[in-house]
């Protein structure tokens, strides 16, 4: 879907002297706000292509290719490397476990991509996962001493998701109506929700032996693990919503230029509210999956560092932090890259710390190539 | 045309005599907020915990706050520029480990090694953010991961490294002068220097200019790249220095210490009146912000009813409430400033820039 636009860009851009540096700077500024559409949508595509070409005097088609496809190239490279060099990687079981392990990160990253698309950020997603995990045993009726459930799974799951959605809604309300920076609001929420989650279970791990959760964690449909289906379905819905619905266009428009969106009648506040509520909901589902996979509620550990990993996945995927442009497919690929990297390191007996350092370098390199485009 | 412009302010001044007192009120209130909040938290803590207001406990609070306060100062400078520095927390840990290793060779190395690491980290940040124009958030986020990985790697996956005792390094970081802890004195001295640098030097003025509007600053001939470079070097050096002091104070280099300091330091700076949008900030406000966090922590430790979990809830809610308050006061102040601009220049000119 991105291919047409990239190819166009590459052809039109041509040599670096396509337009003068003097005008280039100015056009880049305007272009940043203009190129706010989802890549590949037919409507506003043409004007952007030429605009991008003008502002794009600094780089050639190769850097563009790397920028747009970097994450996919990297993912394929990593898979090829694993097929050749990693023992037992080609087994179906290995793919299944990768899909299962990546599922929570994919979900959280999808919500994060929405928030980043509006030029915001959601640092509370990791803690929101923990909150979802902490609420589950309460509603099931599990406790440290009580290991058989009292109530139905549907109710417990719905309750947990309602709580995390409400938490997201609260972040969104403060951001939208009190006009406070998303970073600091969700940072406060990160601390508060983690504290709330841990005090709900007094910091304990609570085992949950429930049939529904077990089916969720280990079941498969046509050989595909349920957790992977949930994650991919959610990401696909987010992608479709972003591209084909009014709400999606509003998200992109707000990220491109909040002020202009407001003036042209976009309901900025209610859209932001929905975005952060959705991010909360997706984090809740991620927490649910993590708890189901673990077979326990562990609010002290679940979701730790996920906010940062999710941001890294979104940025790796090609969504700029400046908002106004979101690629959901890239985000999923970014999450898979991060998960696959850590799996690869584990299977080669490298220390997790080495993995962290390599991840850090890769993230910086990815953003470096994005920046080379000159915006 | 010229006559009209002269006439307008006179008319408006005369008509809005009562309103012209408002701008000062909002700006004074905003500047005082950190100190009022500090006074309130101290008042609440001392009313709940009987022995809170004792000399030994208060010096305890000051000592415990001084390590993160140094990070807060660096973070405040970075926030005034309009950036972030998420790397300070793990740099704090890395610096402590380096100091511990250095102390076994020769005590000056316990200061030199961490400072060198901090300066290098700051230079990398300054280059990637100021010159390459990468997003501060993501660059320093990657460094957060990288440094904590590095700190764990050089300590053989998380071993605590003992500091070689009995040298100037340990006596300095754990000693006291006339009953006042050395680290508290260091905090006071560093903040005093910070105040002079921010308010009395060319760099300080340039920092505010760049933070207010980077493009305008560049057009006015402010060396933007150099300002960004220096700012991140300062932040890195302060975080590393603080980490070294903490290693000397605790007699060990701990690779996992300082987790969450990056966000706490941003919170303290913002509570202290720095705006995340850049161009706004002081030195005394963030100091008060750091002390507020220290007071809350001490209060939670002394008061039996709260635990670590509820402490986080208090922190989180507290940060959001104070920031909402700051934001309200700041936008009122700016609205008033604009109203004054209307008074001086005339309605058309300022109308071109909607709030």
With contacts defined as CB-CB under 8 Å, which chain B residues touch A368? 128, 132, 134
For residue B24, what pLDDT is reported?
65
Mean pLDDT in residue range A259-276: 89
With contacts defined as CB-CB under 8 Å, which chain A residues touch B135? 320-322, 367
For B260-293, b/e burial (b = at least 16 CB within 10 A) is ebbbbbbbbbbbbbbbbebbbbbbebbbbbbbbb
Question: Each residue of A139-180: pLDDT tens digit?
Answer: 877 765 665 666 677 888 888 999 999 999 999 999 988 888
C-alpha distances out from residue A280 to A112, A124, A345, B272, B295, Å: 9, 8, 31, 29, 32
Chain A residue closest in CA terms to B140 = A364
Give the torsion sign (CA, A297, A286, B145, A86): positive
For residues A9 and A63, what is the distance between their CA atoms, to the nearest angstrom? 11
SS3 B341: helix
Q: Whose CA is closest to A120, among A193, A180, A37?
A: A180
Alpha helices in B82-135 (DSSP H): 88-105, 107-125
ipTM over 0.90: no
* Interchain pair A315, B138: CB under 8 A: yes
Contact predicate B104/B159, CB 8 Å = no
With contacts defined as CB-CB under 8 Å, which chain A residues touch B142? 312, 359-361, 363-364, 367
For residues B255 and B238, what is the distance between their CA atoms, to the nearest angstrom? 18
Question: Each residue of A223-252: pLDDT tens digit?
Answer: 788 888 899 999 999 999 999 999 989 998
* Interchain pair A191, B313: CB under 8 A: yes
CB atoms within 10 A of CB B49: 17
With contacts defined as CB-CB under 8 Å, which chain B residues touch A192? 312-313, 315-317, 320
For chains A and B, count residue pairs whose Cβ atoms are closer than 8 Å. Answer: 148
B13 φ, ψ (degrees, to nearest 5): -55, -45
Taking the Cβ of residue B85 and every Cβ of chain A, the question of whether any pair is shorter than 8 Å is answered with no
- Using CB atoms, pick whichever of B150, B267, B316 lies closest to residue A357: B150
Beta strand pairing status for B176-177 and A224-225? unpaired
* Interchain pair B309, A195: CB under 8 A: yes
- The DSSP call for residue B253 is E
For residue A143, what pLDDT is reported?
62
Q: Within 13 Å and on the Cβ side, how many CA atoms surround A120?
A: 35
* Interchain pair A192, B146: CB under 8 A: no
Taking the Cβ of residue B327 and every Cβ of chain A, the question of whether any pair is shorter than 8 Å is answered with yes
Regions of chain B with pLDDT less than 50: 1-21, 349-355
SS3 sequence of chain A: CCHHHHHHHHHHHCCHHHCCHHHHHHHHHHHHHHCCCCCCCCCCHHHHHHHHHHHCCCCCHHHHHHHHHHHHHHHHHHHHHHHHHCCCCCCHHHHHHHHHHHHHHHHHHHHHHHHHHCCCCCCCHHHHHHHHHHHHHHHHCCCCCCCCCCCCHHHHHHHHHHHHHHHHHHHHHHHHHCCCCHHHHHHHHHHHHHHHHHHHCCCCCEECCCHHHHHHHHCEECCEEHHHHHHHHHHHHHHHHHHHCHHHHHHHHHHHCHHHHHHCCCCHHHHHHHHHHHHHHHHHHHHHHHHHHHCEECCCCCCCCHHHHHHHHHHHCCCCCCCCCCCHHHHHHHHHHHHHHHHHHHHCCCCHHHHHHHHHHHHHHHHHHHHCCCC
Q: Specify the length of chain B in residues.
A: 355
Chain A residue closest in CA terms to B269 = A184
Contact predicate B95/B251, CB 8 Å = no
Question: Each residue of A307-334: pLDDT tens digit?
Answer: 888 988 998 888 888 888 888 998 999 9
* Interchain pair B317, A188: CB under 8 A: yes
* Interchain pair B266, A193: CB under 8 A: no
Taking the Cβ of residue A312 and every Cβ of chain B, the question of whether any pair is shorter than 8 Å is answered with yes
Chain A residue closest in CA terms to B308 = A195
Taking the Cβ of residue B276 and every Cβ of chain A, the question of whether any pair is shorter than 8 Å is answered with yes
Which residues between 138 and 167 in chain B have a beta carbon less than 8 angstroms from any beta carbon of chain A?
138-139, 141-146, 148-150, 152-153, 157
C-alpha distances out from residue A92 to A95, A99, A224, B198, Å: 5, 11, 10, 60
Q: Whose CA is closest to A21, among A60, A54, A50?
A: A54
Quick one: how far is CA A233 from the chain centroid?
14
Mean pLDDT in residue range A9-25: 34
- Using CB atoms, pick whichever of B132, B144, B314 lies closest to residue A368: B132
Lowest mean pLDDT among A31-40, A272-281, A310-319, B253-262: A31-40
User: Å from A269 to nearest chain B CA?
Assistant: 17
For residues B79 and B277, what is the distance between their CA atoms, to the nearest angstrom? 8
Lowest mean pLDDT among A50-54, A92-96, A343-347, B37-41: A50-54
B176 φ, ψ (degrees, to nearest 5): -145, 160
Q: Which residues does A80 contact at the CB level (< 8 Å), separation at least 6? A: none
Lowest mean pLDDT among A49-53, A370-374, B71-75, B101-105: A49-53
With contacts defined as CB-CB under 8 Å, which chain B residues touch A202? 309
Chain A residue closest in CA terms to B275 = A181
Q: Which residues does B316 contact at the CB level (< 8 Å), separation at least 6? A: A187, A188, A189, A190, A191, A192, A193, A195
* Interchain pair A308, B141: CB under 8 A: yes
For residue A374, what pLDDT is reported?
40
C-alpha distances out from residue B318 to A304, A336, B31, B125, B303, Å: 22, 36, 18, 30, 18
For residue A76, what pLDDT is reported?
86
Which residues, listed in sequence order, are joined to residue A311 by a DSSP beta bridge?
Answer: none
Q: How confident is the prediction for chain A on average, in pLDDT? A: 77
For residue A285, what pLDDT is reported?
93
For residues A97 and A77, what is the distance between their CA atoms, to the nearest angstrom? 19
For residues B236 and B316, what is the distance between their CA atoms, to the nearest angstrom? 26
Chain A residue closest in CA terms to B152 = A353
* Interchain pair B263, A315: CB under 8 A: no
For residue B331, what pLDDT is reported?
80
Which residues, listed in sequence order, are joined to residue B252 by a DSSP beta bridge?
Answer: B162
For residues A242 and A39, what is the distance between their CA atoms, to the nearest angstrom? 11
- Using CB atoms, pick whichever of B152, B312, B327 lies closest to residue A178: B327
User: Å from B312 to nearest chain A CA?
Assistant: 5
- The DSSP call for residue B134 is -
* Interchain pair B138, A191: CB under 8 A: no
For residues B120 and B233, what is the distance between their CA atoms, to the nearest angstrom? 8
Taking the Cβ of residue B137 and every Cβ of chain A, the question of whether any pair is shorter than 8 Å is answered with yes
SS3 B133: coil
pLDDT-based confidence at residue A62 (cuts at 50, 70, 90): low
Q: Which residues does A71 contact at the CB level (< 8 Å), separation at least 6? A: A316, A317, A318, A330, A333, A334, A337, A366
For residues A260 and B288, what is the distance between their CA atoms, to the nearest angstrom? 38
With contacts defined as CB-CB under 8 Å, which chain B residues touch A184? 266-267, 270, 276, 319-320, 323
- Using CB atoms, pick whichever of A195, A312, A315 lies closest to residue B310: A195
N- to C-terminal Cα separation, chain B: 25
Taking the Cβ of residue B309 and every Cβ of chain A, the question of whether any pair is shorter than 8 Å is answered with yes
For residues A58 and B291, what is the distance between their CA atoms, to the nearest angstrom? 48
Contact predicate B84/B266, CB 8 Å = yes
User: Å from A11 to nearest chain B CA?
Assistant: 26
Q: Specify the length of chain A in residues.
A: 375
Taking the Cβ of residue B306 and every Cβ of chain A, the question of whether any pair is shorter than 8 Å is answered with no
* Interchain pair A184, B309: CB under 8 A: no
Question: Each residue of A125-136: pLDDT tens digit?
Answer: 999 999 999 888
Taking the Cβ of residue B219 and every Cβ of chain A, the question of whether any pair is shorter than 8 Å is answered with no
With contacts defined as CB-CB under 8 Å, which chain A residues touch B271? none
């Amino acid at each position: 879907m991105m291919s047409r636009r990239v190819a166009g860009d590459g052809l039109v851009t041509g040599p670096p002297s396509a337009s003068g540096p003097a005008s280039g700077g100015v056009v880049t500024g305007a272009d940043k706000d203009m190129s706010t559409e989802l890549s590949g949508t037919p409507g506003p595509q043409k004007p952007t292509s030429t605009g991008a070409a003008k502002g794009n005097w600094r780089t050639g088609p190769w850097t563009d290719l790397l920028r747009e496809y970097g994450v996919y190239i990297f993912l394929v490279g990593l898979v090829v490397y694993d097929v050749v060099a990693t023992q037992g990687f080609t087994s179906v079981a290995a793919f299944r476990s990768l899909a299962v392990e990546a599922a929570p990160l994919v979900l959280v990253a999808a919500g994060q991509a929405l928030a980043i698309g509006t030029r915001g950020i959601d640092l509370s997603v990791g803690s929101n996962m923990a909150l979802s995990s902490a609420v589950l045993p309460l509603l099931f009726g599990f406790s440290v001493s009580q290991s058989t459930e009292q109530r139905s799974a549907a109710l417990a799951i719905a309750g947990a998701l309602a709580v995390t959605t409400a938490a997201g809604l609260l972040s969104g309300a403060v951001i939208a109506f009190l006009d406070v920076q998303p970073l600091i609001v969700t940072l406060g929420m990160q601390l508060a929700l983690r504290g709330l989650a841990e005090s709900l279970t007094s910091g304990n791990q609570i085992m949950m032996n429930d049939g529904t959760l077990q089916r969720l964690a280990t079941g498969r449909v046509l050989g595909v693990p349920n957790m992977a289906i949930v994650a991919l379905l959610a990401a696909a819905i987010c992608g479709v919503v972003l591209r084909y619905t009014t709400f999606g266009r509003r998200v992109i428009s707000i990220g491109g230029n909040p002020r202009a969106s407001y003036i042209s009648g976009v309901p900025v506040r209610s859209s932001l509210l929905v975005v952060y509520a959705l991010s909360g909901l997706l984090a809740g589902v991620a927490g649910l999956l993590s708890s189901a996979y673990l077979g326990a509620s562990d609010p002290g550990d679940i979701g730790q560092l996920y906010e940062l990993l999710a941001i890294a996945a979104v940025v790796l995927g090609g969504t700029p932090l400046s908002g106004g442009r979101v690629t959901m497919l890239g985000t999923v690929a970014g999450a898979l890259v991060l998960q696959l990297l850590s799996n690869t390191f584990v299977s080669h007996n490298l220390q997790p710390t080495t993995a962290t350092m390599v991840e850090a370098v890769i993230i910086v390199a990815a953003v470096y190539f994005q920046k080379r485009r000159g915006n | 045309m010229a006559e009209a412009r002269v006439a307008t302010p006179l008319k408006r001044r005369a008509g809005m005599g009562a309103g012209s007192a408002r701008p000062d009120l909002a700006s004074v209130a905003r500047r005082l907020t950190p100190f009022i909040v500090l006074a309130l938290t101290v008042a609440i803590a001392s009313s709940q915990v009987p022995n809170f207001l004792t000399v030994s406990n208060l010096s305890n609070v000051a000592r415990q706050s001084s390590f993160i306060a140094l990070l807060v100062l660096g973070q405040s400078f970075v926030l005034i520029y309009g950036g972030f520095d998420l790397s300070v927390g793990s740099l704090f840990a890395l610096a402590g480990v380096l100091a511990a290793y250095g102390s076994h060779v020769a005590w000056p190395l316990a200061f030199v090694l961490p400072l060198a690491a901090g300066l290098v980290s700051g230079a990398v940040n300054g280059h990637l953010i100021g010159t390459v124009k990468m997003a501060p958030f993501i660059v320093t986020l990657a460094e957060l991961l990288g440094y904590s990985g590095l700190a764990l790697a050089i300590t053989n996956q998380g071993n605590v490294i003992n500091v070689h005792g009995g040298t100037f390094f340990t006596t300095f970081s754990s000693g006291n002068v006339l009953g006042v802890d050395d680290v508290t004195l260091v905090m006071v001295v560093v903040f005093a220097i910070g105040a002079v640098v921010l308010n009395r030097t060319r760099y300080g003025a340039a920092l505010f200019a760049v933070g207010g509007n980077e493009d305008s600053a560049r057009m006015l001939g402010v060396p933007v790249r150099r300002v960004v470079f220096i700012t991140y070097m300062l932040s890195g050096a302060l975080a590393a220095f603080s980490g070294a002091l903490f290693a000397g104070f605790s007699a060990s280099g701990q690779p996992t210490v300082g987790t969450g300091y990056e966000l706490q330091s941003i919170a303290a700076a913002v509570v202290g009146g720095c705006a995340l949008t850049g161009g706004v900030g002081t030195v005394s406000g963030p100091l008060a912000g750091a002390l507020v966090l220290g007071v809350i922590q001490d209060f939670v430790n002394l008061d039996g009813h709260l635990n670590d979990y509820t402490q986080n809830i208090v922190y989180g809610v507290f940060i959001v409430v104070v920031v909402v308050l700051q934001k309200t006061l700041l936008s009122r102040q700016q609205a008033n400033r604009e109203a004054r601009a209307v008074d001086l220049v005339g309605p058309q000119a300022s109308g071109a820039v909607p709030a």
